[in-house]
Amino acid sequence: MIVAEAKPFKEIKENLAGYKKVCILGCEACVSICHAGGQKQVQELASQLKLAAKLEGSDIEIKEGGIQRQCEWEFIEPVNDFVGNHDAIISLACGIGVQFMAERYPQIKVLPGLNTTFMGAPTEPGVFWERCVGCGNCVLAETGGICPVSRCAKNLLNGPCGGSQKGECEVGNETPCVWQDIYDQLDKQGNLKLIEPITPAKDWSTSTNNQPRRMNLNHLKKVETVAAD
């Protein structure tokens, strides 16, 4: 899932300066699980903005709503009437959802209400850890299903670095040394031989440091059509 957190209220308010008809749209997917973009957060932000406007003696009209997923056109279409003629939308979605809203409603100012942080998962109630950076060439088969690319502070593919203490990474803050975890996991699986070969430098051309990535599945449709014929 994509993990995000609320932008500071001050920043949201500054971005909103001058807009009088505003709708706040939550997203019921990933960001609602991390308590950033669900209906409750929409209501809280709306209340904060109304209260701030009242204290300042300014006028603002705020409508609250939500979309099941802001990152797919078919889920956005049903809110066309709701979005209507607002002059600003605060999107409580991840950065993908905000961009889809801005693309769909170019005549309306679309503002992000969240800071998108990482791809991760809850490891215990209320605690989310990063698990993947979308490197485009997954190495989990060699590392016992534990990702060193996203979870090693130095992104080492041949670890550990020598800085870990009692299983904790040298960056501290109760961060586990992922290479200790990988070692323990492979040991449990009786597969320690996997850690022995030196992994060559990673080919980052599949990662985000290159051109914007895209995936085109249309060739699959052509194959299916030919097979059906």
Site for ligand SF4, rule CB under 6 A: 132-135, 138-140, 147, 149-150, 152-154, 156, 159-161, 163-164, 169-170, 177-179
With beta carbons less than 8 A apart as the criterion, state whether 96 and 34 touch. Answer: no
Q: Is 178 helix (H, G, I), strand (E, B) or coil?
A: helix
Shortest distance (Å) from residue 34 CB to ligand SF4: 19
User: Which residue's CB is nearer to ligand SF4, number 68 or number 180?
Assistant: 180
Q: How far is the CB of 194 from ligand SF4 (least distance, A)?
A: 14
Least distance between ligand SF4 and beta carbon 201 (Å):
14
Q: CA-CA distance, 97 to 45, in Å (whole number)?
A: 18
Give SS3 for 156. coil
Of 41 and 150, nearer to ligand SF4 (C-beta) is 150
Residue for token pair 């992994």 = 199
Closer by beta carbon to ligand SF4, 112 or else 159: 159
Q: In the bound complex, what is the minimum distance in angstroms from residue 171's beta carbon to ligand SF4?
A: 6
* Cα-Cα-Cα-Cα dihedral sign, residues 144, 204, 31, 66: negative
Cα 133 vs. chain centroid, distance in angstroms? Answer: 10
Measured from the CB atom, the residue of 52 and 153 that comes closer to ligand SF4 is 153
- Closest to ligand SF4 by CB, 78 vs 136, is 136
Cα(98)–Cα(101) distance, integer angstroms: 5
CA distance 109 to 123: 36
Angle at 156 between CA 152 and CA 173, to 5 degrees: 25
Query: Smallest distance, Å, CB 175 to ligand SF4?
Result: 7
Task: Tell the smallest beta-carbon distance from residue 209 to ligand SF4 (Å).
Answer: 13
End-to-end CA, the chain:
39
* Residue number with CB closer to ligand SF4 (74 or 196): 196
Alpha-carbon span 27 to 30, nearest angstrom: 8
